Amino acid sequence: MPLVAAATGQLPARRPVWFMRQAGRSLPEYREIRASRGMLESCFDPELVCEITLQPVRRHDTDAAILFSDIVVPLRAAGIDLDIVAGTGPVIAHPVRTASDVAALPRLDRAEVGAVTAAIDLLLGELPDTVALIGFAGAPFTLASYLIEGGPSRTYERTKTMMRADPQLWHQLMGALTDITIGFLQAQLAAGVDAVQLFDSWAGTLSEAEYLAYVAPHSARVLAEVADSGVPRIHFGVGTGELLGAMTRIGADVIGVDWRIPLDVAAQRAGCGDPAARPVAIQGNLDPTALMAGDEVIERELRRILGEGERAVAAGARGHIVNLGHGVLPNTEASAITRAVELIHTL
Ligand code: 1CP
């Protein structure tokens, strides 16, 4: 599997590429399936999850499939009342803001994500041996931000306020979410995924000092609890240029990088080339909007990124997995993604 090879310091048979949010509204075949079914309903239907996960692999020839699910799926499975609203994202019926809200948080029983593990079972029977199946979960901070704010936020004001004003309550909430995240990842690993990605999408809103004090111990526990599996652990967030060192040191095997920072600079911040640091691979980092700017721009940007990736590897990164710096935007032409994959495999 080229993705696993690049993550573990072996020479991949071809340069591995996949795209965050590769399944989804950029694909007409996805829009057709979703026209008559809700998002959460789809996430708990193993056959639909399998089909939607396979769609981008079939169409684009990516080197990985990412399980079609959402970071709030284990919260819903555990019994938290929430919905995924089209055009908005997760919306929580009763936001978690007080000590009694935190005390009432449920635990995740593995059987509650049986639909997800059943989907993994189907996928393992369908995917070619060369294509990695990536499982994932939201990291405790990013999950906490949705639970506390009640939905998507630009400022995270209630989240940061609980974190700073009541650190004891904060750590209790983060502890409960860490347990749910570990359970969700372990269920996917037991079902046979080839890699896992921990999405701390919104951690980039924090300073490094606050990340270390309020978030890192919990994410470190997640990564430690899935280390035994031996599968590569990818850790990703948006706008995390200043956090890359910390996010790597807490136990990632692959560090995801957004488009704001060149991959060779990111590798240096992640400790690549430092004999005292654990070796890690890098993943990224095409700006998702570059896929909208036409073939010439796509090729120019990809050549630059592949060059920066090669420099990162020469400086000590274990490998480079090509990806976007964040998810595919819904207005992206599917054909632009297919051509980008072709280019990455031939350049
Ligand atoms: O192809 C894939 O990548 C697999 C599917 C996938 C993944 C990995 C979905 C489907 N969601 C996720 C993870 C996820 N969900 C993250 C982490 C990755 C990231 O940073 O993008 C986050 C933050 C969410 C939360 C979420 N769910 C949002 C973002 C809201 C915000 O705060 O801006 C949204 C819009 C959703 C809904 C969702 N999840 C997935 C899809 C295809 C959709 C859209 C569904 C719809 O509009 O009906």
Say how many C-beta atoms besides its own lie within 10 A of residue 103's C-beta: 11
Burial 250-276 (b: 16+ CB within 10 A, else e): bbbbbbbbbbebbbbebbbbbbbeeee
216: enclosing H helix or E strand: helix 216-225
- For this structure, is 34 an active site residue? yes
CATH 3.20.20.210 for domain 2-346, yes or no, is: yes
Each domain of the chain, given as residue ranges in start order, spans: 2-346
* Cross-strand bridge partners of residue 92: 82
Mean pLDDT of 50-60: 98
The active-site residue out of 15, 76, 146, 200 is: 146
C-alpha of residue 11 to centroid of ligand 1, in Å: 32
Q: What is the chain's Cα-based Rg?
A: 19
Closest residue to atom 9 of ligand 1, CA basis: 70
Nearest ligand 1 atom to the CA of 142 is 23
pLDDT in tens, 209-225: 999 999 999 999 999 99
Mean pLDDT of 15-26: 96
**pTM flag (> 0.95):** yes
SS3 state at 272: coil
The active-site residue out of 59, 63, 70, 253 is: 70
User: What DSSP character marks residue 14?
Assistant: S
Query: What is the residue-wise DSSP string for 44-112?
Result: T-HHHHHHHHHHHHHHH--SEEE-S--TTHHHHHHT--EEEETTTEEEESS---SHHHHHTPPPPPGGG
pLDDT in tens, 116-161: 999 999 999 999 999 999 999 999 999 999 999 999 999 999 999 9
C-alpha of residue 26 to centroid of ligand 1, in Å: 13
Distance from first CA to last CA of the chain, Å, rounded?
Answer: 19
pLDDT confidence of residue 41: 97
- For this structure, is 21 an active site residue? yes
Nearest ligand 1 atom to the CA of 25 is 42
pLDDT in tens, 173-187: 999 999 999 999 999
* Cross-strand bridge partners of residue 235: 198, 255
Is residue 66 within 8 A of residue 136, CB to CB? The reply is yes
Question: Which residue is listed with tokens 């080197």?
Answer: 63
C-alpha of residue 89 to centroid of ligand 1, in Å: 7
User: What percent of the chain stands above pLDDT 70?
Assistant: 100
The CA distance from 140 to 142, in Å, is 6
Is residue 281 within 8 A of residue 321, CB to CB? The reply is yes
pLDDT confidence of residue 14: 97
Is residue 85 within 8 A of residue 56, CB to CB? The reply is no
- For this structure, is 156 an active site residue? no
- For this structure, is 228 an active site residue? no
If phi > 0 it is left, if psi is from -120 to 50 it is alpha, else beta; for residue 89 that is: left
* Token duo for residue 244: 């890359």
The model's confidence at residue 38, banded by pLDDT at 50, 70 and 90, is: very high
Q: Which of 18, 21, 193 to mutate to test the pocket of ligand 1 (most atoms within 8 A of CB)?
A: 21
Closest residue to atom 22 of ligand 1, CA basis: 71
Mean pLDDT of 36-43: 96
Say how many C-beta atoms besides its own lie within 10 A of residue 39's C-beta: 17
C-alpha of residue 72 to centroid of ligand 1, in Å: 9
Q: Which of 37, 45, 54, 70 to mutate to test the pocket of ligand 1 (most atoms within 8 A of CB)?
A: 70
What are the pocket residues of ligand 1 if the criterion is a CB atom closer than 6 Å to any ligand atom? 20-24, 39, 66, 68, 70-71, 84, 86, 89-90, 136, 142, 152, 199, 201, 327
Nearest ligand 1 atom to the CA of 34 is 48
User: What percent of the chain stands above pLDDT 90?
Assistant: 100
pLDDT confidence of residue 205: 98
Is residue 214 within 8 A of residue 178, CB to CB? The reply is no
